[in-house]
Structures are given as C-alpha cells and as structure tokens.
Structure 1
Amino acid sequence: MAVQDKSIPFPLVFLQPVADVHYVWTALSLHISPIDGDGGALFSRLFNEFGLKDALGELSCILPVHDPERFFPEFTRPLPAGRVILRIPVEHCVAAVKLASLDRLHAQGFSIIADGLPASASTVYEHIDSLLLESSVGNLPAAADWLQRLRGPHLVENVADPVQFDACRAQGFRWFAGEYPLHPDSRPSQKNAISRARLLKLLELVARDADATEIQALLKQDPGLSYQLFKLVSSAAFGFSAHITNFTQAINLLGRRQLQRWLQLLLYARFPGDEMANPLLPRAAARAALMEALAQRMGYDRSEQDRAFIVGMFSFLDILLSMPLEQIFEPLRLPADIVDALVHRTGPLGVVLDLVERAEFGSKPLRHSDLEAAGLDAETYCECLIQAYRWASLVSSEA
C-alpha cells in the first residue's frame, strides 16, 4: 500500500491550467515541490482524501512521474480511463528496460505523455502519442518532426503571450500552459467594451444595493449580458437546476450576494459572436474562490470572505480592460482596504492576494514560510486549492 512519509513536510501543491486552441481548459497539470518519493502516495491522498477527482469534472489531470518503476499509486475509486495522464521523462519512454513498467501503467488505465524531446533516431514506447515540451524547445526543427510522427495532442509549457501561443499552435501543439492569458495582445473590441461599461455600472448598482427594477432596466439594454445572465445562472457552477425564464426570476433566485458574484464573473465571460473563450475567466474564478477559501481558514467572518472573493475576481480587471485599476475602481466606490489590496497588496486582503498569486505557479514561488506567516499549513492550503479549482472547472465548462 502506498503510504506517504509523515516525517517529510507536506509538499506544496500547484495546479496549472492547460487549455486547448480555443483557450478552453482541457486539463490541470499538477506540480509538486518538494516531492515525497515518486509521488504515488501523495497522488493517492490527493484523489482519495482531498477530492481531486471531483475537482477535475470533465478535465484531464497530468501527474509528474520521475520513474515509472517506482510509481505505485492506490485509488479507492476508479479513475476515468485515459484522463489521468502521467508525464514521464522522455529517457524512460525510449528505454527498453522501462517497458514493463509502462505496460503496467497503461494496463491500469493511465495515459502517458513523454516529457522532453526524443532523439531523432529513437523509438518511443508504442502507447505514447503525445509530447510535452517547453516553448523554447518546441520551435526546434527536431521538434517539428516528432510533432508530425506522433498523433498528439502535444502540450507546450511556458507559453509567454498570445503571439507565442499562435506560433506554437501553427507548429502543431494543441494543448497550452503558461502566462499567455496575463499578456493580451489587443484591446477589447468596441462591442465588448460597451457591454463591460454597462457591467461596471451594474456592479455599482449592486454595490449600493439598488432596487431590482433598476438592475433589470440596465440588463435589458444589452442582449449579450442578458444571454450570459440566463446561461450562467442556469449553470452547474451556481448549483441551480431550475429553468430561468425572466429577469426577475433570475435576480430573485440568485439573491443579492450571488448576483454580485455573477456580475463579477460575467466581466470575463465570452459574449455572443466571440470565437475564442476568454482565458482570464477561469483564472479569475480560481483566484477568487481560492481567496475566499483561504480567508475562511484564516478565521475571517462571512463578510470578509465575500470581500476576499471580490478582491480575487477584480484583480485581473486591469488586464481585461487595458486600464489602470484606479480608473476602473473609481466609479465603483470600493472600500479603501479593497483598493489598497488590489493596487498595493497591503492589508489583510492584500496578504491573501499575494498568497494566491504565488500559488499560481508563476514567477513568484509560494513557500512554506508564506503559509506559516498567514497561519496556514500546506495541507490546509492544498484542500483550499482543490476546492477552488473544482468551482473554476465548473465555470470554465459552462461559460
């Protein structure tokens, strides 16, 4: 039985989104620092105790396995066949000595992706169809040959911006991970800018507790917002199963607190006619949900948890709208501590936002000491992370 060594501190767990060519989430890539043994015991706990399987929904999950001969996870519930993908160093995927281990893992229902670029003359294990490459390696001539030889989908990591995203897509990659959502290459279209201007007005109405009739009147001015209202309110992400037929029903069913959340989320939604999903939507949803979950574990009351959610959701608005945060927040008349958290990362909410940004496997690494300073431990953080991504994956699938 796979047993995690309790003498080793619980590692830091990161979930990195993987998107397809339309910016829609297709998988979550798991990263661990440091790793206990070869991860089998830890992965078993994440699926059996922490609810990672439920958090995935219809997404695939990519697990790092350094040595297939030492990887023996044990799951209490069957995993979806083919949707748990093991990223195995390429040297193990071409070595004859590892074939028995790869056969064992394949027979257990795991898919395998080769992590790295094989030598041109090598033969890859027969059940491997995909490569995982760094963006700097993916543009090499040798990579182009392998992308053609294997069926895919091939995954490229550390995609810096939409320009590099398009270049990797042209090379034959179909799955993408990196910071490209945070560096858009164009301003929002005029049509969407008008819709989002109305949405900012709606947020202002809700923030000052305006009458439902006032909110409804503004919603009726924008078919795109109306469409997204009915779509999101009816989604699994909000837990409603009723069929929504009018504005009053939607507003009453949501309630004031959920209406605020829906409006915040809708800032990032795909509008009718958009060919591509907005890659910021699930990122904002995950950040907001993680901030709320961490705030709860840090002892914040319900009101402060809601404020933490707002900070997380609003923290991408400068990227979304290509405007300084100060200009965006001025008409919303947000409390000073929320603005300080968003602009300067100061105050209690700023501390939580800094933690969440470090948890996104970006340029600023999360450390055990960061969690300890906030009164948290790595296991509690991991539970919150998986809870947040469960909701974000629902939002991503419904948006």
Structure 2
Amino acid sequence: MNNYVVRQPVKDRDDQVIGNEVMFQLGDDALYNSSEDHMAAGTIANFFMQNNEKIYDGKLIFATFTPSLLFRNTPKIFESSKLIIQIEDNVLVNPLSLMIVQKYRNQGYRFAINDFQFSARFFSILEYVDFLKINVKGRTERSGESSMENIVRMARGFNKQCIAYGVDSREDYEFAKTLGVDHLQGTYISEATLIKTAKLDFLQGNFFQLVVAVTKDTPDMTEIEEIISRDAYLTYALFKLINSRYFALSKKISSIRQALVILGIRQLKHWVYLLSMQSDNKDDGGITEQVLKRSFMRGTFCSRLARYIDGLPVSPGEVYMMGMFSTLEYMVDSPLEDILKELPIREEIKEALISRAGICGDLYTLVLDYERADWNSINQMVKKLGIPSNMVAQFYFDCVEEVNEIWKGITFSGEDKDEGEHKGM
C-alpha cells in the first residue's frame, strides 16, 4: 500500500500562515474516504507517534481524525494547544459522536468541521467547534454561493471562524474572497506566496557564485574564501554569524578561512541562500521566510529522493541546487530561463527546471506534485523513478525537520541583533 503524507498551509486574510493541515493518502484513497479502515487508522496513528515533533513547527496542526483514530486516542499524541481536530460526516453519524467531541473538548482540544452543511447533525455539535471548513473548489459558476454566504454569516454570529479549502485556482481564490471567509487553504494559496515575493532588480553575482561553489561535489575552500572576500556584505554577514551566540566561541573570529572551517560546508550551503535576501526584503519578511523555506525544502527533498534513483546523471549536490534554484524566478526580476543562462550549472538541471525534461525533470515534478498533494501524479512519478513508495512520507517529514533545524541555525544570529537594539533603546 502506498502511503503519502504532505502539509498544506492555512493562511489568514493577511497572507500569514496560522497552521498546516497534515494530509494523508493511503492506497488508492485519501484519508477522508476511508472512514472505518482500522488498518489505515493504525498506520496513521503510528506515523503521528513517530513524527509528532517533526510535524509541529510552531504553527497549529490541522488533521482529520476518523472515528477509529479518535477512539484510539490518537489526538493525545499532540498537546491540545498545538492541534485542531478536524472531523467530518463519518464522525457525525456515529451515535457516540457527541460524547467523543465533548471528551476531547474538555481536555482542551479544539475542533474544525470539514465541508460544513446546514443539517441537524452538523448543528448538534456546533457549540463545541471553533472552525467551519467549506469547500470552494471549482465553484466558478457560483453554485451554492448563497448557501456558503449563509454559512459564513452564521459562523460570525456564533463566533466561529470559516476556512475556505480547495482554493486551487485563481477563480477559487476570487470566489472565496467574495464570501468573506477568515482563512484560506489550497494549492493556489500555497503557490501564491512565491508570486508575491519582492523581486531583486539584478542577479547578485557573488552570491550565486558562492551557492554554486558550496554545492560542488568537492567544494574548494580557497575559491569560497575568494568569493566572500570580494563582497563586503558577505564578509560582514559571515563574521556576524560565526561570532553570534549560536556558536558561543571563546574569542572573536576575524579570519574568513577560520570562519569557514568552523562553519563547515553543510551549514554554509544552507546559510548563503538566506544572506542575499536579508537586506532586500525587509518589508515582507513573512513572505520571504516562506519562500526561503520552500527553497530549502525542495532542495533537501530532491537530494533525499535522489539517493534511490538509478541512472541520475547529476550529483547529489547538483540535485540539491536544482531544488534551491527552483524559486529564483520569484526572487529575481527576470525569466527563469534567462537567470539560468548566467549560472554555471549542468544542462540537465536547467532543462529540468525550465521544461521538466529528463530524469531530473521527473524528480522535480515529483517534488512539486508532493507540495500540491497530487496523489495520482505522485504514484506515477514514484513508480517511474523506482523510489520505494512506502518510505516517501517518512522522507518528507525527515526533510521538514531538517529544514526547521536549518532555519533555526541560520536565523539565530538575528536574535543577537534584536537583543542589542533593545538594549540600546
């Protein structure tokens, strides 16, 4: 059985991420279609148990729980303050539904109802629910618009919040906005973050040379040192990081070579990508953070999956670079094809990013499909590439954890700056 798991962000009307929904695909069906599959419930419960810390990144966790999962006390794997328990019709029709909901509610857990409808069984537990979710996917002809508007009005009257999910296109997004919902969720919402990022006016040559240098199979420390030494900003940023509380060194470091030795290629590889954005996107840091995390995630996930692909014509470092560079067109004011012409990277990587050609293109397609929870395409790509399907979900959340740790490390020095500014006030 092929089991896949992905996170999809839930955003408020100000485009800020309030949480992530953990979405499952088990076998040929999504979790939402398998109401009483006890084997599936066991698989999900075990996955939550093994990955609860990886799933949580400081934002709310939204997850749908079937009756089997609720009776297994699976939600208790998570602290009540971190989790929103999503339920749907298969719970509401259960004769013990009210007792189940009251039990978790008394323990501090909050609830969301998927695909809320005007019917007695939905209203029977309304007082215990905080979020009402309505499906707007494909509602371009405004079918059911008045009913949805009434749900939103009713929710406000009962002090509930509405989440429009299935926002997978521009049309879905415009329709959801007319409803006046509180939160939005869907592939369009996730990808719109990239489009909104403030773009740079030009290619920062030293930065891109540095990224290419550190992602080589055998990085040349002398080359890296030379690139940094001819850029005042890179030099300053390197010294600021290496002398921060994160490294807690006994004395200040003032040598680029010494700083590089202490930092190490792995940490440097993740960190340099952040540097180019820190001074150029001060006014939209929330969006920038999401784009950079997306870059790290794509690079890390590509690299992890590549280990299981036979005949890949590029190195692990180049595969990582492919994922990292996939967001460049959203940050640089030029078409991706023009940007890639300026970079000394393999043609296989360029073709994969531009037209998704070749094995590298298939790998890139798989990573994008996973972001969108496109289960059918994921199954096809996994089989085509020969990746063990039973391990992909674990790879994904291992990468989520790694990216979260990377982010903590590369942004830690910013705390020193903030602390110093407060002390100087």
Using structure 1 for the length normalisation, give the TM-score.
Answer: 0.76
| Structure 1 residues 162 and 22, CA gap change in structure 2 (3 angstroms) | farther
| Structure 1 residues 18 and 187, CA gap change in structure 2 (3 angstroms) | closer
| Structure 1 residues 96 and 381, CA gap change in structure 2 (3 angstroms) | closer
Alignment partner of 1:273 out of 273, 283, 288: 283
2:81 maps to amino acid: G
* Aligned positions of 1:263-302 closer than 5 A: 263-266=272-275, 271-274=281-284, 276-278=286-288, 279-298=290-309
In the TM superposition, what is the alpha-carbon distance from 1:326 to its structure 2 partner? 2.0
| Structure 1 residues 85 and 374, CA gap change in structure 2 (3 angstroms) | same
Alignment partner of 1:29 out of 21, 33, 43: 21
| Partner Cα distance (1:134, 1:259) in 2 | 43
Contact kept? 1:113, 1:129, Cα under 8 Å:
yes
Aligned to 1:56: 56
| Structure 1 residues 62 and 393, CA gap change in structure 2 (3 angstroms) | farther
Number of residue pairs aligned between Structure 1 and Structure 2: 380
| Partner Cα distance (1:350, 1:57) in 2 | 30
In the TM superposition, what is the alpha-carbon distance from 1:372 to its structure 2 partner? 2.9
| Structure 1 residues 146 and 199, CA gap change in structure 2 (3 angstroms) | farther
Contact kept? 2:63, 2:85, Cα under 8 Å:
yes
SS in 1 for 2:85: strand
| Structure 1 residues 367 and 126, CA gap change in structure 2 (3 angstroms) | same
Aligned to 2:415: none
Contact kept? 1:165, 1:180, Cα under 8 Å:
no
Answering whether residue 4 of structure 2 is matched by residue 18 of structure 1, we say no
Aligned to 2:156: 148
Aligned to 2:421: none
2:369 maps to amino acid: R
Aligned to 2:41: 40
1:113 maps to amino acid: A
| Partner Cα distance (2:160, 2:133) in 1 | 10
In the TM superposition, what is the alpha-carbon distance from 1:195 to its structure 2 partner? 7.9
Q: Deviations over 1:232-276 (max 9, x none)?
A: 9979xxxx5547976836544333343233233556668323364
Alignment partner of 1:310 out of 321, 326, 330: 321
Q: Deviations over 1:357-384 (max 9, x none)?
A: 2212256743434323322233211110
Aligned to 1:4: none
Contact kept? 1:268, 1:280, Cα under 8 Å:
no
Alignment partner of 2:361 out of 339, 350, 371: 350
Aligned to 1:83: 82
Aligned to 1:5: none
| Structure 1 residues 12 and 70, CA gap change in structure 2 (3 angstroms) | closer
| Partner Cα distance (1:321, 1:328) in 2 | 8
Structure 1: give runs of 5+ residues left out of the alignment.
1-8
SS in 1 for 2:392: helix
In the TM superposition, what is the alpha-carbon distance from 1:305 to its structure 2 partner? 2.4
Q: Deviations over 1:209-232 (max 9, x none)?
A: 534243143242898xx49x9579
Q: Deviations over 1:335-377 (max 9, x none)?
A: 1222122223233322321221221225674343432332223
Structure 2: give runs of 5+ residues left out of the alignment.
412-425
Contact kept? 1:85, 1:111, Cα under 8 Å:
yes
Q: Deviations over 1:283-312 (max 9, x none)?
A: 2222222111112344799x8222221111
328-337 or 31-40, larger mean C-alpha shift: 31-40
1:220 maps to amino acid: Y
Aligned to 1:72: 71
SS in 2 for 1:82: coil
Answering whether residue 338 of structure 2 is matched by residue 330 of structure 1, we say no
Aligned to 1:114: 113
| Partner Cα distance (1:63, 1:231) in 2 | 37
Using structure 2 for the length normalisation, give the TM-score.
Answer: 0.72
In percent, how many aligned pairs have the same letter? 17
Answering whether residue 247 of structure 2 is matched by residue 255 of structure 1, we say no
How well do the aligned residues superpose, as a CA RMSD in angstroms? 4.3
In the TM superposition, what is the alpha-carbon distance from 1:128 to its structure 2 partner? 0.7
| Partner Cα distance (2:210, 2:298) in 1 | 22
Aligned to 2:100: 101
| Partner Cα distance (1:17, 1:187) in 2 | 16
